[in-house]
Structure 1
Amino acid sequence: MAMNDFPTPIRDLLPSLPDQCKHISVQDLRVFLAVSQAGGIRKASYGLGIGQSAVTRRIQRLEDGLGVSLFERSQAGVRLTGAGWDFSERARALVNDLRIAISSARVAGEGRNGHLSLGVLASLSQGPMRELVSSFVGRYPQIDLTFSRADRGELMTQLNHRTLDLVFASGAPNLADGDSMLFTEEPVFLAVAKFHMLATKASLQWSDLIEANFVVSSDEPGPEVSDHILRRVSDLGRQARIQHHRLDREGIMSLVGLGLGVSPMCEHWCGVNYPDVTFVPMKVEGEWECLPFSLRWRGDNDNPALRRFLSLAREVAKAGARSSAPS
């Protein structure tokens, strides 16, 4: 690309160059370096695949623009002058830097490097989201991933202010949250103490839990879990007994392991081992109970890494849609 082919703002960044030098092209530099390396115009033209006259014209134009002789000519070939040696070192560095810049831009444009920020309201211990992240890391190892965990409102705020590229959270796709897709429907399990009588069952119905004492976190996704319990138990004409604790997931599981209550959870949390806790899958009207989980992002986010992630997410979601049975 010729220097004068650059957009006007870029050309304006080069006010110190003489006007005649602004017409020097990258191809001129490539030809000059080829002649320098070959030690002759004939050899250089053969290596470049262009005629000797074209090589000669480019060298002459380069010398005229610079106002110095770059080569000493003789019947044996050409030799760099003092100015030619100095110019060749700087020209080679310039061409190499440009080649690297172009390559880096292409790689970034293809989403093969860069950065992706993910907000998660779930565990990555197992399940489709873990599979997605693992596959993405294997396919695009040059992309840096960062993860954030917070309540839903904070994650959505970060997403809308472009500090996050994508949020993975429970719920069906919602147009109010921007662009979104249903990623998976995960089976629901009940976490119970291993010595609890419910732990011996192959599966559980909500009718088995009418007298159960539920322990739930006050923090996300605790309120959502509480709403789910209330809805399911009230459908049976009973009032659920729920105790809220200012504990994280690990703290709630500790209470379950001590026999102080039970707690529903989705399959992705079942990849973590908690002392004296086991997980029993839930059924509703004879079918495995599942909850939807969606990916949410901004449609105007042009991060190539995000586009690659979403493309792979659709592959994983399509494969996972074949079965919603507990693993």
Structure 2
Amino acid sequence: MGINFDLNDLQAFRAVVELGSFRRAAEAVNISQPALSRRIEKLEEALGVRLFERTTRSVTLTTVGRVFAPSAEQLLDDLDVALLGIRDVSSSRLGHVTIACVPSVAYYFLPNVIASYHRRFPRIRVKLLDLSANEVLGAVIGGEADFGVSFMGSQESEVEFKVLLQERFVAACRRDHPLAHKKRVTWSEMYEHEYLSVDKTSGNRLLLDQALAAVAPRAPSVCETRHVTTMLGLIEAGLGVAAVPSMAMPGPDHPVLTSVPLVEPVVRRRIGIVRRRGRPLTPAAQEFHREIMEMKRVSAEPHTRSRRRAAS
């Protein structure tokens, strides 16, 4: 016996799953709420099961509904892939994408990517997980994120790491700090001033400890933080200077913060896309991946080149 439901019913089901509300789902697929309810009822009758538990205040998936949801999502994603080669479906696509990213990249680079992506796909929801480098790997390997943006992953057998760009570490300081007007600063010179550092849970700390084995600070840092973005706020408040990745710095027009290239040695890190091996991206995630590849040429590279010019 044939199964009596169609694409519209599956799209209605996905909309309710993603939005958690019959009202919002009806608005998303541009039909009335009674019409959407009828589509869900038709799907449930065709499958012979209840997919949702509905009360006056909430909508939740039943156990069967939770099992069915990934299959429905895969069917719609497969159709989306086919349609991409036939016609422009940008304005009508409804889906979601989850990206895991280290905060130092998420703060200044990804907002422009997300804004551009939202203009192209206004009905696709983006979830950004700002995590440590190790947590980014875990989110990708565990399937919590479609892919990650980080500086760690090339040694993990379960993931692929595709380099986007390289960036160097710079000394971040206030514009009124004694180091601010130098063309370059050695690590030893920076450590002569009060400085901040990231703690041992940070991937940046591991990278710097390995690169600076021969450079020993004369005194401990005045404060440790877990994330570079937090450290920048402390620098702005006048607590000292710090070594940060160049991409984490705000633009050259920032009224308070500036940076100076660090030398002896020059320390760089590679930023890349982290993906789980053998796991294809959904159409929504594939489009976000393309957006990153395009945006890094117009955003990240000029930012990096400005730091290189400062060092020359």
TM-score with structure 1 setting the length: 0.55
User: Which residue of 2 is the match for residue 226 of structure 1?
Assistant: 205
User: Which residue of 2 is the match for residue 263 of structure 1?
Assistant: 242
In the TM superposition, 1:32-43 aligns within 5 A as: none
Q: 1:141 aligns with which of 85, 103, 122?
A: 122
User: Which residue of 1 is the match for residue 305 of structure 2?
Assistant: 325
Q: 1:197 aligns with which of 161, 178, 181?
A: 178
Matched letter for residue 250 of structure 2: G
In the TM superposition, 1:21-170 aligns within 5 A as: 106-107=79-80, 110=84, 112=90, 113=93, 114-123=95-104, 124-127=106-109, 129-170=110-151
Per-residue CA deviation, residues 158-183 of structure 1 (Å, 9 max, x unaligned), is 22222210111124744525122111
Secondary structure of the residue that 2:180 maps to in structure 1? helix
User: Which residue of 1 is the match for residue 162 of structure 2?
Assistant: 181
Per-residue CA deviation, residues 133-177 of structure 1 (Å, 9 max, x unaligned), is 333333333321111123333332222222210111124744525
Per-residue CA deviation, residues 202-228 of structure 1 (Å, 9 max, x unaligned), is 3333343242343123375xx333344
User: Which residue of 1 is the match for residue 285 of structure 2?
Assistant: 306
Aligned in 2, Cα 1:106/1:195: closer, same or farther, shift over 3 Å?
A: same
Per-residue CA deviation, residues 250-270 of structure 1 (Å, 9 max, x unaligned), is 553344245433211123322
Give the Å deviation of 1:13. 3.4
Give the Å deviation of 1:311. 3.1
Matched letter for residue 146 of structure 1: K
Write the distance in 1 (CA, Å) between the matches of 2:120 and 2:243: 34
Gaps spanning 5+ residues in structure 1: where?
A: 1-10, 15-92
Matched letter for residue 126 of structure 1: Y
Give the Å deviation of 1:192. 1.6
Q: Could you tell me whether the CA contact under 8 Å between 2:170 and 2:261 is conserved in 1? A: yes
Secondary structure of the residue that 1:191 maps to in structure 2? strand
Secondary structure of the residue that 2:248 maps to in structure 1? helix
Q: RMSD in angstroms over aligned alpha carbons? A: 4.0
1:294 paired with 2:272, answer: yes
Per-residue CA deviation, residues 20-57 of structure 1 (Å, 9 max, x unaligned), is xxxxxxxxxxxxxxxxxxxxxxxxxxxxxxxxxxxxxx
Q: Could you tell me whether the CA contact under 8 Å between 1:233 and 1:240 is conserved in 2? A: no
Write the distance in 1 (CA, Å) between the matches of 2:102 and 2:281: 24
Secondary structure of the residue that 1:176 maps to in structure 2? coil
Q: Give the share of equivalent positions with the same residue, in percent.
A: 15
Secondary structure of the residue that 1:141 maps to in structure 2? coil
Matched letter for residue 124 of structure 2: I
Aligned in 2, Cα 1:200/1:121: closer, same or farther, shift over 3 Å?
A: same
TM-score with structure 2 setting the length: 0.57
User: Which residue of 2 is the match for residue 54 of structure 1?
Assistant: none
